[in-house]
A and B are shown apart, each in its own frame.
Chain A
């Protein structure tokens, strides 16, 4: 049975301000889900909360992955369970090469979901880890780079440091290809890309698509869905998923905008009174 990411009634705040107000969503391995919605509807927050970003406080609800409630797990443990987030704004880390970083990440992810929470190891130190031999790593990375048509010069550069917008997004996809997640969250991967870059990134995602990979594709616009056909489309509004449908829902949104989906004032009034 494939892995499932199940989100139940998820509520989350940032600095006391509620952003997620009861999200329900299920993404299965092998499926591509598009999550659409206007700015400020909580899409990026959802991705961050699923990965355990400490900036956000979860006030209610559950996140299940592979049959475990991962809400209390640290971000690294979630990643080692093969959850992945392609960031909307990838951080640059000067002085750390992509190659070294990716090799460490690969080693970590291959260790899998071990209870290596901080504090559980009384010394607070690392367990001795099984390393990925440089040759094996290089061969693997080489193959992924060829698949994604990424330039070799990438890997000796500092992580995202001085990368153009398009390069950053492609570096995220390269990481995704290498780390082989079971569920990947892609946060506005299309934003800031010109049409050529968008095509390349979309082709890359399509190349990775398969029964082993579930994708939650977060996007503001329909345009990426011209290249990546989703199995399911969800619409998020004011911290909730308010509508789900097939790929034709995306086209409908493109045509009509989000206005028609907004809850009526009457509904809002009812909600406010309730």
Chain B
């Protein structure tokens, strides 16, 4: 546990002195201190983004957030896994994982990786240790090409104050089948928590990484998560990064996720945005390598006063690149969601194929969604299509289900499930799919969880009993008469 030392929390508010103190406490090399200080200058000099006139105002809301009331650094002293994380770990990935890394508030408190992968040269550690132990890799990749310090005011703030963080390096040719699980657990009130995932997949390697964000902030003072994910897919590398964001209603979330592609690299982002009070999401694919392919599968669910702003970018910069962005979400109560989906095709990016579709389903008259697709095309051999819509739930569909005896709330839930199901099918990890279904249904049913469980259990029973056809006796059992029950 060499990375964990006795550290002191900093005073409230973001200042240059706090940057220096943080770096000093961590005993960082000079280059990292300089990087932090440069980032601080950028943060200080950059105005907060305010969005467009007439939008739903999420960016302005974030800009007015009282950043100076936050503690910029909230380390923990115990390396014990909080009970909530232990419980969550039991629910997830029971059938194996390659590694596990856990951040509690500002500190990484646990990291493990199977021996076999260690022997193959895979590195999974906290980012602070990586700065000391693998300075070249970090210097080359940390907030340089993928999410540069200067991307926005908030990425600059992150670069100045980051702490903890995950570092994963997969050497050339190493293929990791079982996912590596990352858990972020936050319970520090009035704090800014900076979380970072730096993932480097070297040539012809492959990996799956699943990050889950949860928080439980007591009291009325909100905390802020400022998160950055950087994925480097080197030549022919394949990366699958899944993200389940289930922060509580007392947490604000700002996240920038980007992937940088070398030749024939491919990255799939799975984004499940369920929690947080105000949520600012930027997620991109920088298709710089010839033949690279990016995929984004996104799901969100908003209720109460949640406000989301989700921006995606498929940035085609090379020959023969593909991108597919699929986002679906449900909005209820007074929640608001802004979605901006951009496809950019640069002059050199001939033979581009890019597709974007985003759909918001409004369950409440008070919910508001603004979905805007964008296209910037500067090459001529391009196949690109996009569509973005929002709409109320179909009353005729509801009537149809109700005429079969199903009450309205459940009919709505069935329609929502049907709405999400095609996109859930695109999520490669089964346990994540099941968890998402469960989360969505629980959100639809409020606190009445038993009903959600019966649906999911029914689903699982179908799946289990469906293959157990031998136990069912028909009058004349015949292969072609068997009802094969699939996951619907």
Measuring CB to CB, which residues of chain A are less than 8 angstroms from any residue of chain B?
51, 53-55, 74-76, 78-80, 84-85, 87, 90-91, 93-97, 99-101, 103-105, 108-109, 111, 116, 118, 123-126, 128-129, 131, 134-135, 138-139, 141-142, 146, 152, 155-156, 158, 175, 179
CA distance A125 to B446 in the complex (A): 8
Question: Min CB distance, B115 to chain A, in Å?
Answer: 42
* B472/A135 in contact, CB under 8 A: yes
| Given A95-B417, A138-B472; 8 other pairs, CB 8 A cutoff | A76-B402, A93-B397, A95-B420, A105-B404, A105-B406, A108-B404, A128-B450, A142-B474
Q: Mark interface residues in B456-488 (1 if CB within 8 Å of A CB, else 0).
A: 001101100100000110100000111111101
Question: Min CB distance, A85 to chain B, in Å?
Answer: 5
CA distance A139 to B397 in the complex (A): 28
Q: B residues within 8 A CB of A124? A: 409, 446
Closest 10 CB pairs of A and B: A95-B418, A97-B488, A108-B405, A95-B421, A125-B448, A96-B418, A105-B404, A79-B405, A75-B402, A91-B400
Interface Cβ pair total, 8 Å cutoff: 146
CA distance A93 to B482 in the complex (A): 24
Interface residues contributed by chain B, number (CB under 8 Å): 48
* B482/A96 in contact, CB under 8 A: no
CA distance A100 to B418 in the complex (A): 11
* B462/A134 in contact, CB under 8 A: yes
Chain B residue nearest to A85 in the complex (CB): B403
Chain B residue nearest to A75 in the complex (CB): B402
18 pairs from A and B in contact (CB 8 Å cutoff): A54-B399, A74-B407, A76-B411, A93-B397, A95-B421, A95-B422, A96-B421, A96-B488, A99-B462, A108-B406, A108-B407, A109-B405, A123-B448, A124-B446, A126-B409, A129-B451, A135-B471, A139-B474
Q: A residues within 8 A CB of B462? A: 99-100, 134
Task: Indicate if B415 sits at the interface (CB-CB under 8 A).
Answer: yes
CA distance A113 to B454 in the complex (A): 22
* A51/B403 in contact, CB under 8 A: yes
Q: B residues within 8 A CB of A138? A: 472, 483, 485
Measuring CB to CB, which residues of chain B are less than 8 angstroms from any residue of chain A?
394-397, 399-411, 414-415, 417-422, 445-448, 450-451, 454, 458-459, 461-462, 465, 471-472, 474, 480-486, 488
* B483/A141 in contact, CB under 8 A: yes
Q: Which of A87, A111, A126, A179 contacts B448 (CB under 8 A)?
A: A126
Chain A residue nearest to B450 in the complex (CB): A128
Q: Which of A96, A129, A134 contacts B461 (CB under 8 A)?
A: A134
* B415/A96 in contact, CB under 8 A: yes
* A118/B409 in contact, CB under 8 A: yes
Q: B residues within 8 A CB of A101? A: 401, 404, 414
Q: Which of B403, B420, B474 contacts A79 (CB under 8 A)?
A: B403
Question: Min CB distance, B399 to chain A, in Å?
Answer: 6
Q: A residues within 8 A CB of B395? A: 54-55
